[in-house]
């Protein structure tokens, strides 16, 4: 079984020191742990989604506590992302039986979590451009999964407003030894054409974590 402290150490390695992190196992928290406005947001969701949501909000409230902020609801915004208390930026992700959360006072940041397993080749051209695929050297199926994880983290690293919905084609990711560069191909939300964000990747117990901070 994956050690939660090991996951949190890996998370810490992705971000500057001021970023608080937390990890929880999905399935250990029920809807009673949620605030009323949170329960309302997932009242009609399937049990799996409810379990993911509850674990993610538990992790996020641990992040709030680490930042010296009182416990608070994190309701769902119009784009389904969590709305953090004023003055804080944060990100939540869940997969592979775990939910993770990161947060800080200041600039936006994003995190994602994926199983470190091969991704079926039918999805490669959905996630990567031909140029991105050309640059992947090695186990392409696993590397595309890591590009996906990186792009998801970049998507989440948006300020509270304006948030934009954009697809995988809006950003080009180049993987490095322990991280990635993400360059925008268009103006989307707060991001500008040509803007580059640098992120980090970490592998822990069959999972890949991606983090990016402005």
If phi > 0 it is left, if psi is from -120 to 50 it is alpha, else beta; for residue 138 that is: left
Q: Name every residue whose Cβ is closer than 8 Å to that of residue 183 and which is 6 or more positions away in sequence.
A: 171, 172, 174, 194, 195, 196
Region 69-89: mean pLDDT is 92
Report pTM: 0.94
So what's the pLDDT on residue 29? 79
At 110, phi and psi to the nearest 5? -140, 150
Q: What CATH class is the domain 4-111?
A: alpha beta
Give the model's confidence band at 1: pLDDT under 50 very low, under 70 low, under 90 confident, else very high: low
* Per-residue pLDDT, 168: 95
Average pLDDT over residues 91-111: 95
The single residue listed with the structure tokens 């990711």 is 173
Residue 212 has pLDDT above 90, yes or no: yes
Q: What is the mean pLDDT of residues 149-162?
A: 91
* pLDDT(188) > 80: yes
Residue 175 has pLDDT above 80, yes or no: yes
Each residue's pLDDT tens digit, 8-40: 999 999 999 999 999 999 987 778 889 999 999
Cross-strand pairs, 113: 209
Give the position of tokens 């409230």. Answer: 61
pLDDT of 179 higher than 70: yes
pLDDT at res. 194:
97
User: Which two tokens mark 83?
Assistant: 């709305």
Q: By the 8 A CB rule, do 73 and 85 touch?
A: no
Q: Is the dihedral of CA 103, 43, 4, 211 positive or negative?
A: negative
CB distance 132 to 172 below 8 Å:
yes
Task: For residue range 32-62, list pLDDT tens digits in order.
Answer: 889 999 999 999 999 999 999 999 999 999 9
Tokens of 172: 């080009």
Residues of the chain with CATH 3.90.470.20: 4-111
| pLDDT of the residue at 208 | 97
Write the secondary structure of the chain as one string of H (helix), E (strand) and C (coil): CCCHHHHHHHHHCCCCCCCEEEEEECCCCCHHHCCHHHHHHCCCCCHHHHHHHHHHHHHHHHHHHHCCCCCCCCCECCCCCECCCCCEEEEEEEECCEEEEEEEECCCEEEEEEECCCCCHHHHHHHCCHHHHHHCCCCHHHHHHHHHHHHHHHHHCCCCCCCCCCCHHHEEEEECCCEEEEEECCCECCECCCCEEEEEEEEECCEEEEEEEC
| Whether residue 3 has pLDDT greater than 90 | no
CA atoms within 13 Å, Cβ hemisphere of 210: 32
Mean pLDDT value of segment 145-156:
97
- Given a cut of 80, whether residue 2 has pLDDT beyond it is no
Q: Would the pLDDT of 159 be above 80?
A: yes
């Amino acid at each position: 079984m994956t050690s939660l402290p090991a996951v949190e150490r890996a998370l810490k390695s992705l971000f500057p020191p001021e970023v608080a992190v937390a990890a929880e196992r999905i399935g250990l928290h029920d809807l009673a742990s949620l605030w009323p406005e949170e329960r309302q947001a997932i009242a009609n969701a399937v049990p799996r989604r409810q379990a993911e949501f509850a674990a993610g909000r538990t992790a996020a409230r641990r992040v709030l506590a680490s930042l010296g902020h009182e416990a608070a609801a994190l309701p769902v915004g119009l784009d389904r992302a969590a709305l953090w208390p004023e003055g804080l930026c944060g990100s939540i992700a869940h997969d592979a039986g775990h939910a993770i959360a990161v947060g800080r006072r200041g600039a936006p940041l994003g995190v994602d979590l994926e199983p470190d397993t091969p991704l079926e080749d039918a999805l490669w051209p959905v996630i990567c451009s031909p140029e991105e695929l050309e640059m992947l050297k090695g186990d392409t199926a696993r590397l595309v999964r890591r590009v996906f994880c990186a792009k998801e983290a970049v998507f989440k690293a948006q300020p509270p407003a304006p948030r934009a919905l954009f697809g995988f084609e809006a950003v080009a990711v180049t993987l490095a030894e322990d991280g990635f560069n993400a360059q925008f191909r268009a103006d989307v939300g707060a991001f500008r054409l040509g803007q580059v964000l640098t992120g980090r990747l970490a592998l822990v117990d069959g999972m890949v974590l991606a983090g990016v901070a402005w």
